[in-house]
Structure formats: C-alpha cells, structure tokens
Amino acid sequence: MALTARQKQVLDFIADFIEEKGYSPSYEEMARGLSLASLATVHKHVTALEERGYLKRAYNQSRSLDVNRDYLEQRRLRGARAHEPLELPLLGRIAAGAPVEAVAGDAKLNFSDFVGHESTFALEVRGDSMIDDHICSGDFVLVEKTDQVRDGDIVVALVDGMETTLKRFYRESAETVRLQPANSAMPPIIVPAAALRIQGRVLAVLRRYK
C-alpha cells in the first residue's frame, strides 16, 4: 500500500535522524521536528508505518525504531539518481537542408543548464500566437522564473492580474509595454506597464512526437 505524503515525511525524518545520530528519534523529537500536534499523532503514524512493514520497533525499549532495508536502498538509489548529470551525448549536427558530412563527437548536451535550478518551470503551450517562432500548440516551454527581462525576450506575462500569455516583450515607453505575438495574423497587445507582471523568460522549447 502506498504511503501518504505525511507518512513518507515521518519515515524520511526517522531515516535521516538515524543516519545522522546513529539511533532513532524519540516521539518527542519527531513531534518537534515534524511540527506534529501531539505524541498521539506520532504514535498513529509510527503504528501505520509498522503495519505496512516500513518500520520495526522493539517493545518496551526507547529509541528502538528500525527502517525497512528495502526502503533505505530505494532512498539511496533516488539520491544517487538525483545527483546524476542530466545530459545526453551530443553526436554532432544534422542538416535540415542539403546533406552534410556526419561527424561524430564526444560532446555532451547538459540538460541541467535548463532544469537544474529551482527557478525553472514548464508550461504547455495552447494556441498559435507564437508559431512564427516555431512554438506550436502542444509544445512545452521551459521558463526561468524572473521579472528581469530585455526587449525581444519571450516572456510569460500576467496581464491585469487575470490573464497569462506567452509573447515577445518590448518596452514602448516608460508607461507602456508591447506584447508581440509571433503570428502575422495577430495584432500586438499594448498594455500599461503597471498592469503587467512578468512571471518568467523562456529558456527552451520541447516538442513531443509520440
């Protein structure tokens, strides 16, 4: 049976505590460390984890909790994967026009440049306002959360606190901003700078073909 988010938090707290201290935490330490309301709440979570086989405890002994070895191994593997570089072999360049000589290389394309920061998030694109920039409906954009952008940047803009849009950003004046679509059939959006909030700048576009 899957753990609830709170049960996993309790189990990870116990595992971290044992790893750091060499012994298991008391119920009081768990209550403080996890901001749980009472020792009865701690007891409830520990009992549920024991019933599911994630914890083992010796009765009539303090600090006697042991975390299931399989779970500890899963934690170790998750931690190892989290530190693996997000990269793929960059084997060269391929022509989309006339054929060119294929030359293999040993470079790497490191995706941590795009997704290795907490400030990066993804959005799915809906609509065709950016098709001339090759951003199509159904694509995903990777966005850096920032409000510091330059003219020409593709931004995620919140207008009047209600509507979010993906457009190129241009300052028309100190008081006015132009949000420019990349679609010749659509007019630009002119808004007062005070009515606009920049939520991020596009870093990359991803497209899924299957």
Sheet holding 140-144, edge to edge: 120-124, 140-144, 196-206, 154-159, 163-171, 176-180, 189-192
Task: Catalogue the E-assigned strands of 153-195.
Answer: 154-159, 163-171, 176-180, 189-192
DSSP-assigned letter for residue 204: E
Is 112 catalytic? The answer is no
Q: Considering 129, 137, 145, 184, which one is annotated as catalytic?
A: 129
* Number of Cβ atoms within 10 Å of the Cβ of 25: 21
Annotated active-site residue in 24, 26, 62, 167: 167
Alpha carbons 69 and 50: distance in angstroms, whole number:
13
Q: Are strands 120-124 and 140-144 parallel, antiparallel or unpaired?
A: antiparallel
Answer yes or no: 129 catalytic. Answer: yes
R_g of the chain computed on alpha carbons? 26
Q: E strands, the chain, where?
A: 55-57, 65-67, 87-90, 107-110, 120-124, 140-144, 154-159, 163-171, 176-180, 189-192, 196-206
DSSP state of 98: S
Q: Which residues are catalytic?
A: 129, 167
